Structure 1
Amino acid sequence: MNSQQDQQSNMEPAETSALKTGKLATLRNDPKGWTVFVIAIASVIVFFGSAFGAGIGLWGWQAGLGILPWTGLAALIALIIAIVGYVLDRRKDRKTRWPLLGIGTLVSLGFIGYLASYAMTLASLPAIHDITTDLADPPQFSALTLRADNWDNIPGTDDSEMRGMNPRQRWATLHQDAYPDIRSVRIDQPVAEVIEKARRLAEDRGWEVVSVDPASGHLEATATISLFRFKDDVVIRARAAENGAASIIDMRSVSRVGIHDLGANAKRVRQFLSDLSGTTTAAS
C-alpha cells in the first residue's frame, strides 16, 4: 500500500513538470499567436473595464474615456502583428498556427469595427449635447438644473457661415442641420392624459422621474445610459390644442457631462415621442 502511494507521489511532480514544460513549449512554438491573442483580449477587457470602473465611481469619466483610444491602438497593433506574421509565414513557406492567431485576429477586427462605428458617428454629427423639438422655445427645467456650461464649446466659431452668431444661435443652426426630423408632435389626447402616459413610459424605461405635473403639462426625469452610467436630463412639455381635445408635445434631452452626445439624445427623443404618440405626427 505504501509503495503505491510512493509511486503516485513520485509521479505527481513529474506530471506537473511535464505539464509546465508543455505549456512553455506551446508558448515557444506559437509566440505570434499568443501575442496577438493576449493583446486583443486585454484590449477588450480594459475597454469595458475602464467604462465600468468610471460608472461605479472608481475613477472619473474623463479618465475612463481617456483610456479608450489606447485600447483601440492596442487592438490595431495586434491586428498588424497578425497580418505581418501571416505574410512572413507565406513568404518563408511556413505553416501558420491558426487557433490562437485566428481568435486574436477576429477579436481585434470585431473590436476595431465596434470602435469605428463610434468614430463614424462622432465625425458625422455635430458636437452638441442639448436636443429639443422646439429650438425657438425649448422646454425649461424647473426641478432639475440645466448644466452651467450648456452653451460653452458650441462648434462653429471658425465657420464663415456662422460668423457673428452667438453660441445659442450656432447650436440651433447645427441642431437643425443634423436633426431636422426632431420637431413638436401633436397627440389627440388632453394634456393631463399625455403627461400621465409619459410618466408611465419614462418609468418603464427605468428613468428616474423627478417631477410630474399633469395639470400643467410638465414632466422631468433623468436617464442613465451605458457602462459609464452617464446622466441625461429630460423635460417634457404638453400644451393644449383644439380647446383641450389635443396636445402639442415638446421634449428636451440634455447630457449632464461631455460635449458630444454621439446622437444619444436625439435617439431618445425620437423613440420616446414615437412610443408616446403611437404614430408620431409632426405638429403644424
Structure 2
Amino acid sequence: MDDSNQESAASTAGSTPKSAAGKPALIKRDPFGLLVLILGAGAGLWGLFSAVGTGWGFWDYVSGLTGVKYAFFLAIFTLVIAIAVFFWRRRKGMRNRMPRLIIGALSAAIFAGYIGYWLMVGSSLPAIHDISTDLADPPQFTALKVRADNWDAIPGADDSDMTGLSPRQRWALLHQKGYADIRSVRVNVPVADVIAAADRLAEDRGWDIVAADQARGRLEATATVSAFRFKDDIVLRVRPAAGGQGSIIDMRSVSRVGQSDLGVNAERVRSFLSDLSGTTTATTR
C-alpha cells in the first residue's frame, strides 16, 4: 500500500461516522428530556394507579383522591420544566430534535388538562351529591339506605343568604339553582309498564338492580362510576297521574361518598329519564 492510500485510510479511520444524510450518527444524550419524559409519564401513571387502587379496595377514596391531586401537581411542575428547557435550548441555539421532551410534556399536558377540566366542572356546580326530581318529597329508599352523613356537609352554613336554613333547606336551594331542569316527568304509560321498561334500561346500563316492584311502582339500583368504582344509589318512584291517565316518574340518585358529585348524578337522572320516556308523550311537571 502506497503512502497516499495509507494517509486516506488513516483519515477515514479517524473521522466521525456519518449517516447517509451527512449528519453525525452519534446520539446525543438528553438528560433534561429524559427527566421530563419520566415525570410526565409518571404523573399520569400515578393518577391512574391512585384511582384503580381505590376501585380495587387497596385504599380508601380519600387516599385515592389525594394521590390524583399530587399527580396533578406533578404534571403542572413537569410542564413548567418542559417549557423552561425548551426556551433555554432555543436561546442556546440547540435546535436539535427533542422527542423525549415533547412526549413527556404532552403526557403531562393531557393528564393535567383532564383533571383541570373536572376541577372547572366542579367549581361551576353546587357541591352536593343528592339529586332528585322532587325536592319537596324526594323518593325514599327501602331496599337500600341513604348514607348516614347525607346532610352533614351541605354548603352555605356560613352564607348570609342562607342564615337560619336547615341543611336540607340549603340543599334544596342549591339544587334548584344548579339543576333547575331536573323535574318530575309525566308519561302516557301505565305504572307497571314504566317499571318494566326502567328495569330493562337499568340492566342495559350495567346497574346492579336491587328491587323492581311493578305493583308498587318502585325500582332501586346501584351504579358503579369511573376507575374509582364509586357507588351511586338510585331509586325510581312511579305513581299514577291524576285521573289515572299515564304516570308521574320521580328519580333520585345519591353518591355513597364525597361531598360533590361533579354533576354525575344529575346527568344520570337526565339521561335515564330521557331514555325511559322514549317515544311516548312526556311532559315535565
TM-score (norm 1): 0.88
C-alpha distance in structure 1 between counterparts of 2:242 and 2:156, whole Å: 40
C-alpha distance in structure 2 between counterparts of 1:242 and 1:53, whole Å: 50
3-state SS of 2:37 partner: helix
C-alpha distance in structure 1 between counterparts of 2:241 and 2:123, whole Å: 39
Query: Which residue of 2 is the match for residue 283 of structure 1?
Result: 284
C-alpha distance in structure 2 between counterparts of 1:79 and 1:113, whole Å: 11
Give the counterpart letter for 2:58 in structure 1: L
* CA deviation vs aligned residue, 1:190-240 (integer Å, no higher than 9, x gap): 000001100110011010110111011111000011111111000000010
Query: Which residue of 1 is the match for residue 254 of structure 2?
Result: 254
Query: Which residue of 1 is the match for residue 18 of structure 2?
Result: none
Query: Which residue of 2 is the match for residue 43 of structure 1?
Result: 43
C-alpha distance in structure 1 between counterparts of 2:183 and 2:241, whole Å: 16
Give the counterpart letter for 1:64 in structure 2: G
C-alpha distance in structure 2 between counterparts of 1:49 and 1:65, whole Å: 11
Is the 2:187–2:283 Cα contact (8 Å) retained in structure 1? no
TM-score (norm 2): 0.88
TM-fit CA distance, 1:241: 1.4
C-alpha distance in structure 1 between counterparts of 2:153 and 2:44, whole Å: 31
Give the counterpart letter for 1:35 in structure 2: L
* CA deviation vs aligned residue, 1:90-143 (integer Å, no higher than 9, x gap): 222222431111111111111111111011011111110000000000000001
Q: Which one has a larger percent helix, Structure 1 or Structure 2?
A: 1
TM-fit CA distance, 1:175: 0.2
Larger-gyration structure (1/2): 2
1:82 is the counterpart of 2:63: no
Is the 2:190–2:240 Cα contact (8 Å) retained in structure 1? yes
Query: Which residue of 1 is the match for residue 192 of structure 2?
Result: 192
3-state SS of 2:142 partner: coil
1:227-238 matches, cutoff 5 A: 227-238=227-238
Query: Which residue of 2 is the match for residue 206 of structure 1?
Result: 206
C-alpha distance in structure 1 between counterparts of 2:267 and 2:240, whole Å: 25
3-state SS of 1:51 partner: helix
Is the 1:127–1:259 Cα contact (8 Å) retained in structure 2? yes
Give the counterpart letter for 2:226 in structure 1: S
Task: Work out the percentage of aligned pairs sharing the same amino acid.
Answer: 56
1:138 is the counterpart of 2:138: yes
Query: Which residue of 2 is the match for residue 273 of structure 1?
Result: 273
Is the 2:219–2:237 Cα contact (8 Å) retained in structure 1? yes
- The answer for unaligned runs of 5 or more in structure 1 is 1-24
Is the 1:52–1:227 Cα contact (8 Å) retained in structure 2? yes
3-state SS of 2:104 partner: helix
Aligned residues: 259
With over 3 angstroms needed to count, the CA separation of the structure-2 counterparts of 1:162 and 1:235, relative to structure 1, is: same
1:1-284 matches, cutoff 5 A: 29-278=29-278, 281-284=282-285
- The answer for unaligned runs of 5 or more in structure 2 is 1-25
Is the 1:199–1:212 Cα contact (8 Å) retained in structure 2? yes
C-alpha distance in structure 2 between counterparts of 1:66 and 1:113, whole Å: 17
C-alpha distance in structure 1 between counterparts of 2:235 and 2:249, whole Å: 11
C-alpha distance in structure 2 between counterparts of 1:210 and 1:37, whole Å: 47
3-state SS of 1:153 partner: coil
Give the counterpart letter for 1:213 in structure 2: D
C-alpha distance in structure 2 between counterparts of 1:140 and 1:108, whole Å: 44
Is the 1:183–1:282 Cα contact (8 Å) retained in structure 2? no
3-state SS of 1:177 partner: helix
TM-fit CA distance, 1:243: 3.6
